[in-house]
Structure 1
Amino acid sequence: MSDPRPEPRADARAVLEAPDVHRALTRIAHEILERTKGGDGVVLLGIPTRGATLARRLGDRIEQFEGVKIPVGSVDVTMYRDDLRLRPARPLGRTELPPDGVDGKIVVLVDDVLYSGRTVRAALDALNDLGRPTAVQLATLVDRGHRELPIRADYVGKNLPTAKSEKVRVYLQETDGRDAVLLMKGLPAKEESR
């Protein structure tokens, strides 16, 4: 397991449990297939850490439904973030492109939570350095609102209206030992920087 989340606090409220996460990803996989007419020319790129895990799960579901293996990779956005000087140093993630790259492909960026839109903007900047896709779409497990940039997800597992003081934490089996999405009141200052 890499980058596990801390244990949830007592005030955490589950908004999605494992079966809900499973259903949301199944729905997103079907929507991707429908919108891309069977997934031809699609590449799934997850934003580490949990977005990369979700991209692999989506790829597995699409293969299960259509019998088509969709290329899956990841795109690290660390060096493209606009808050590098404001936050503590963080380790670089891995960018892994499928062997055929992204040129001329429909790239579906996958992330766990869509909030301000700044991480997605960083992913778009990173993608620009990696190639020239035909189109870029966005899939997210949770859209919590509060956008600071004009970015909208094409595929959403759950729209979750939140207060700015609330935090959304996604837990996935591969990294955290379970599947869940929790909503918490504001975090203590030392957890805030995660």
Structure 2
Amino acid sequence: MQEKTKLLDEAAISRAIKRIAHEIIERNKGTEDLILIGIKTRGLPLAKRIQHAIEKIEGTKVLTEALDISLYRDDLTNRDASVEPTVKNPSIQADLLGKKVILVDDVLFTGRTVRAAMDALVDLGRPNYIQLAVLIDRGHRELPIRADYVGKNIPTSLDENIKVQLEEIDQKEQVSIFE
């Protein structure tokens, strides 16, 4: 694959995170009963960045947790057969009952990752509601799922891939499109 264009740099990612944080606070009328849950891998650092932005705006620290959805994926049969899925302890320690959960991920594409995350959350408890925040929405949904908070909408063809690189994981900060 070859990089076609860089879509977001470090400053643009930072602006998108701040905007999402403001929208979350506004829509939820503050931070009471709010929990940010980052879908591993890149959703977690994004959730922590949103947490930090909310803390700077509101002066309160919102609980942030990580969610591993690997056993909830509906495409396990399409993956490498030599890799056996392992049962892990639930990664979320917080009580979700009656909470306002904001799921955070890097890219929204078919909706299957988000569906798997919602299945995992419901198995862990019953939140008051679940909202979705994504850095990039690239379209091509296979399931009726939409994001409540979007950093940037980037319509793509099915031949293109969006690659989010974050300093915490990739030692690089950018969003690019590849062909």
**TM-score where L is the length of structure 2:** 0.93
Distance 2:169 2:104 in 1: 16
Aligned: 1:97 with 2:111 = no
1:91 CA displacement: 7.0
1:68 CA displacement: 0.8
Aligned: 1:81 with 2:76 = no
1:97 CA displacement: 2.3
Q: Write the letter of the residue equivalent to 2:8.
A: L
Residue 52 of structure 2, aligned match among 60, 83, 86: 60
**Equivalent pair of 2:2/2:178 in contact (CA under 8 Å):** no
Distance 2:72 2:52 in 1: 29
Judging by fraction of residues, say which structure has more strand.
2
1:79 CA displacement: 0.3
**Equivalent pair of 2:3/2:176 in contact (CA under 8 Å):** no
5+ residue gaps in structure 1?
Answer: 1-8, 186-194
Residue 181 of structure 1, aligned match among 153, 160, 175: 175
- Hey, which bits of structure 1, 4+ residues long, moved more than 4 A? 90-95
1:94 CA displacement: 7.8
Match of 2:109 in 1: 115
Q: Residues 16 and 90 from structure 1, CA distance in 2 versus in 1: closer, same or farther, beyond 3 angstroms? A: farther
Aligned: 1:153 with 2:147 = yes
1:13 CA displacement: 1.2
Distance 2:121 2:95 in 1: 11
Q: Deviations over 1:93-150 (max 9, x none)?
A: 885325x421110000000000000000000000011100000000000000000000
5+ residue gaps in structure 2?
Answer: none
**Equivalent pair of 2:71/2:85 in contact (CA under 8 Å):** no
**TM-score where L is the length of structure 1:** 0.86
% same residue: 50
Q: Write the letter of the residue equivalent to 2:162.
A: V
**Equivalent pair of 1:75/1:94 in contact (CA under 8 Å):** no
**Equivalent pair of 2:42/2:166 in contact (CA under 8 Å):** yes
Match of 2:120 in 1: 126
